[in-house]
C-alpha cells in the first residue's frame, strides 16, 4: 500500500513511540464513556450505543464498527453514525485488496489515510469522507473487528486524535468481548431451556409444533398488550422473555408417570389429582434453579408460568386457587395460549376445532377460566393466529 497512506506501526510491535499527550478534557470524556461501557445493558442495540459514545468522545464526523464473521470470512458492519445511506449488515471480504478495513483487520495494523479521495486504489464505505482512521479491535482472542473514524476534512487526525482513538478502541474491545460472552451465555441458556421443555413433552407423540406455537402465541399477545393502559409490566424485556418462557409451562410433566400422562382414556379422580401436581413440580424445579444459580428473567417467569397456568380467573383453578390479578400476568397469557392451541390442534382423540368453534368455546369461559380482557385482545385478529398456527404446523 502507498506510503502516503500512513500505515501505522503494528500494534505491540517496535518501534514503540511515546503516547501522544491527550488533553484533560478529552480524557474526562473518555473516562465517562468507559463508565457507561461498564454499566450499559448488553444486547444488539449496544453496538450502536458504543459507536455513538466513541463518536462523542473523539468528535469526528463519522464512526463505524465492523466485527469478524468467521462463518463467511467477512467483516460485518454492526453499527455506524454519520454515514448517510450506509446500513448495518454491509460486508467486506477479508481478501478485498482495496479495502482499508480488510487491510487493518488482516494485518492488525492501524491504517491512517489523510485523504482517501486522493488514493484511487483504496476503498472506504463513504465517498464523502476524506480522512479515515481504521483500527483493529483486538481482544484476548486476537482481532475481532475494526473500528473506523472518519472526517470530511483532509488531514483531520493529528497525534492527539490518534492517541485518543487508540485508547477508546482499547476500552471498547473489553466491552465487545463482554457482549460476545453474554450472547453465547444467552444462547446456551436458551438451548437448556428448550431442552428442559422438550424433555417434559417428548413422551407425548402429539407434541409436534406445540412448544413453538405456544411461544409464538404468547409473544403475540404480549406484543398487543405493549403500551396498553394497565399493563406497565409489559416491557420489551417481558415480551422477549415470555416468548421463550412459555415453553416451560408443562416442564413439571417430567415427573408424571407414563401410565397417567399417556393414558388414552379419561383420568380417574385419583389420577387427575396426580396429573395436577405437574404445576407444583414445574414451579419447584425452576425455583430450585433460581436458588442454585441466581435470577434469570426467563427462568423466573417460567416458574410463574409453570406453577400458575392452570389457575382460573374465578379462583377455581389449581394448584393454589388464585383468582383474578393474583395470577401472574405471564401465567394468564399462557393459559389462554395453551387452551387455544389444544383446541385448534388435531389429536389422536379429536379433530382440530375451527376458529369459530374455538372462539365461541373460549369466550364462554371469559371471566371464569380466562382473564376476559386478555382473551378479547388475543382473539381480536383471527388471521394473525392462523398465520402462527400454519407457520408452526405439526
277-292 residue pLDDT tens? 999 999 998 888 888 7
Prediction pTM value: 0.59
Same domain flag for 291 and 225: yes
Residue 3's pLDDT band (cuts 50, 70, 90): very low
Residue 365's pLDDT is 97
Residue 329 has pLDDT above 80, yes or no: yes
Residue 114 carries which DSSP code? S
Q: Can you tell me the distance from the alpha carbon of 317 to that of 308, in angstroms, rounded to the nearest whole number?
A: 9
| Cβ-Cβ contacts under 8 Å for 73 (sequence gap 6 or more) | 93, 94, 95
Residue 32's pLDDT band (cuts 50, 70, 90): low
Dihedral of the alpha carbons of 82, 86, 87, 89, in degrees to the nearest 10: -120
Same domain flag for 177 and 211: no
Same domain flag for 213 and 338: yes
- Which of 204 and 117 is assigned the larger pLDDT? 117
Dihedral of the alpha carbons of 302, 306, 310, 316, in degrees to the nearest 10: -100
Condensed to tens digits (0 to 9), the pLDDT of residues 309-328 reads 999 999 999 999 999 999 99
Residue 335: CATH number of its domain: 1.10.3210.10
Same domain flag for 176 and 270: no
| Cβ-Cβ contacts under 8 Å for 31 (sequence gap 6 or more) | none
Q: Nearest Cα to 310, choosing from 286, 287, 337?
A: 337
- Which of 46 and 130 is assigned the larger pLDDT? 130
Q: Can you tell me the distance from the alpha carbon of 252 to that of 247, in angstroms, rounded to the nearest whole number?
A: 12
Residue 53: CATH number of its domain: 3.30.450.40
Residue 384's pLDDT is 96
User: DSSP H helical segments within the chain, as ranges?
Assistant: 24-39, 46-58, 100-107, 159-201, 210-225, 236-245, 258-261, 269-293, 297-308, 329-344, 355-363, 372-378, 382-391
Of 44-48, 78-82, 235-239, which range is least confident?
44-48
| Cβ-Cβ contacts under 8 Å for 84 (sequence gap 6 or more) | 126, 128
Our count of domains for the chain comes to 2
Domain edge (last residue) among 136, 154, 182: 182
Q: Residue 147: give the domain boundaries.
A: 3-182
Residue 332's pLDDT band (cuts 50, 70, 90): very high
Same domain flag for 52 and 163: yes
The answer to whether 95 and 115 are in contact (CB under 8 A) is no
Task: With respect to residue 154, please indicate whether it lies within any of the assigned structural domains.
Answer: yes
What cell does 173 get? 474491545
Q: Mean pLDDT over residues 36-61, rounded?
A: 69
Residue 14's pLDDT is 36
- Which of 107 and 57 is assigned the larger pLDDT? 107
Q: Can you tell me the distance from the alpha carbon of 65 to that of 135, in angstroms, rounded to the nearest whole number?
A: 10
What cell does 315 get? 379462583
Residue 295's pLDDT is 77
Residue 16's pLDDT is 40
Residue 46 has pLDDT above 90, yes or no: no
User: DSSP H helical segments within 151-230, as ranges?
Assistant: 159-201, 210-225
Task: With respect to residue 350, please indicate whether it lies within any of the assigned structural domains.
Answer: yes
Q: Nearest Cα to 308, choosing from 287, 270, 335?
A: 335
Q: Can you tell me the distance from the alpha carbon of 112 to that of 88, in angstroms, rounded to the nearest whole number?
A: 23
What cell does 312 get? 382460573
367 to 67, 173, 380: CA distances (angstroms):
52, 54, 17
Task: With respect to residue 196, please indicate whether it lies within any of the assigned structural domains.
Answer: no
Q: Write down the mean pLDDT value for the chain.
A: 82
Same domain flag for 381 and 239: yes
Same domain flag for 146 and 229: no
Same domain flag for 212 and 112: no
Amino acid at each position: 500500500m502507498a506510503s502516503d497512506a500512513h500505515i501505522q506501526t503494528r500494534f505491540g510491535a517496535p518501534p514503540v513511540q511515546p503516547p501522544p499527550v491527550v488533553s484533560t478534557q478529552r480524557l474526562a470524556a473518555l473516562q465517562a464513556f468507559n463508565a457507561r461501557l461498564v454499566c450499559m445493558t448488553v444486547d444488539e442495540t449496544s453496538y450502536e450505543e458504543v459507536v455513538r459514545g466513541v463518536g462523542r468522545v473523539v468528535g469526528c464526523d463519522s464512526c463505524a464498527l465492523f466485527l469478524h464473521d468467521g462463518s463467511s470470512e467477512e467483516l460485518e458492519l454492526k453499527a455506524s453514525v454519520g454515514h448517510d445511506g450506509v446500513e448495518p449488515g454491509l460486508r467486506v471480504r477479508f481478501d478485498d485488496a482495496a479495502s482499508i478495513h480488510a487491510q487493518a483487520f488482516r494485518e492488525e495494523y492501524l491504517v491512517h489515510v489523510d485523504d482517501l479521495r486522493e488514493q484511487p486504489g483504496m476503498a472506504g464505505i463513504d465517498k464523502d469522507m476524506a480522512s479515515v482512521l481504521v483500527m483493529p479491535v483486538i481482544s484476548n482472542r486476537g482481532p475481532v473487528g475494526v473500528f473506523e473514524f472518519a472526517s470530511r476534512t483532509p488531514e483531520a487526525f493529528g497525534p492527539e486524535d490518534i492517541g485518543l482513538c487508540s485508547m477508546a478502541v482499547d476500552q471498547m474491545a473489553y466491552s465487545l468481548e463482554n457482549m460476545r460472552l453474554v450472547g453465547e451465555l444467552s444462547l446456551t441458556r436458551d438451548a437448556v431451556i428448550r431442552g428442559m421443555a422438550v424433555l417434559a413433552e417428548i413422551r407425548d407423540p402429539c407434541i409436534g409444533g406445540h412448544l413453538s406455537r405456544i411461544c409464538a402465541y404468547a409473544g403475540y399477545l404480549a406484543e398487543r398488550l405493549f403500551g396498553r393502559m394497565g399493563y406497565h409490566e409489559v416491557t420489551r424485556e417481558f415480551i422477549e422473555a415470555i416468548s421463550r418462557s412459555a415453553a416451560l409451562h408443562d416442564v413439571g410433566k417430567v415427573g408424571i408417570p407414563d401410565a397417567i400422562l399417556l393414558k388414552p382414556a379419561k383420568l380417574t379422580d385419583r389420577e387427575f389429582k396426580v396429573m395436577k401436581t405437574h404445576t407444583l413440580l414445574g414451579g419447584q424445579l425452576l425455583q430450585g434453579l433460581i436458588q442454585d444459580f441466581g435470577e434469570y428473567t426467563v427462568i423466573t417467569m417460567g416458574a410463574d408460568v409453570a406453577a400458575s397456568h392452570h389457575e382460573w380467573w374465578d379462583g377455581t383453578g389449581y394448584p393454589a386457587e388464585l383468582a383474578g390479578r393474583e395470577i401472574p400476568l405471564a401465567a394468564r397469557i399462557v393459559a389462554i395460549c395453551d387452551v387455544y392451541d389444544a383446541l385448534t390442534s388435531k389429536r389422536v382423540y379429536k379433530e382440530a376445532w375451527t376458529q369459530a368453534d374455538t372462539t365461541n368455546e373460549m369466550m364462554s369461559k371469559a371471566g371464569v377460566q380466562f382473564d376476559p380482557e386478555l382473551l378479547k385482545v388475543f382473539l381480536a385478529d383471527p388471521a394473525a393466529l392462523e398465520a402462527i398456527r400454519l407457520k408452526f404446523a405439526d
